[in-house]
Amino acid sequence: MAATTLTARVNGADRPLPADARRTLLDWLREDLGLTGTKKGCDHGQCGACTVIVDGRRINSCLSLAHLHEGDTIETIESIGTADALAPLQKAFVAHDGFQCGYCTPGQICSAKAMMQEFAEGWASAVSEDVAARPEFSTDELRERMSGNLCRCGAYSNIIAAIEEVMATQAQPGRAGA
């Protein structure tokens, strides 16, 4: 088969999809595009280290094939902030020590960013009192909504504190978000 000209939009630029249909979205981002911020943890959808945002929604990039994303808009950790210009979530993770080794952190941050959008849209969770109502913010809600991201170092309490701070800031009008 001739080299494909199909593309996906990654961090604002159209990138040609890989020749091999077996390439997972994760391996394409890391191995072909050099976007190694996204991490490979379990490679089986059990840890969340590979979380990226596709068309505004967080997914496990290890469980998808790159070729299933033709025309999709993909955001990785590289688009969220830089060392010189950290995004609010990144600043908060630093301020609260929301990591030890840092391997799960890109996935945590991508997941948290998309989670905040889900919450803003009024999605309920398994711990919401009334699934039909707009959920009230609580630490339990945050824990449940971030359960798809494991932290081998067990920095959970600080991860939650970091995200809580950003969400509280965002709730105030006129303040910049993630």
Partner 1 sequence: MKPFVLDHADSPDAALAALDAGATAIAGGTNLVDLMKLELATPEKLVSIRRTGLDEISADGDGLMIGALVSNADCAAHRRVREGWPLLAKAILAGASPQLRNRATTGGNLCQRTRCGYFYDSTQACNKREPGSGCAAREGFNRIHAVLGTSDQCIATYPGDMAVAMLALDAVVMTEGPYGPRRIPLAMFHRMPGDEPSRDNVLEAGELITAVRLPAPTGGVQVYRKVRDRASYAFALVSVAVDLAMEEGRIARCALAFGSLGTVPWRDRAVENVLIGEKPTPALFAQAAEVLLKDAQGFGENDFKIPLAARALAATLHEATQTGKA
Interacting residue ranges for partner 1, rule: CB under 8 A: 21-22, 24, 43-45, 48, 51, 57-60, 63-65, 67-68, 70, 111, 114-115, 118, 121-126, 128, 131-132, 143-145, 147-149
Say how many residues make up the chain.
Answer: 178
Query: Which C-beta is closer to partner 1: that of 94 or that of 137?
Result: 137
Q: Which is nearer to partner 1, 24 or 76 (CB)?
A: 24
- Which residue number, 45 or 177, has a Cβ lying nearer to partner 1? 45
Min separation Cβ 132 and partner 1, Å? 4
In whole angstroms, the minimum distance from the beta carbon of 126 to partner 1 comes to 4
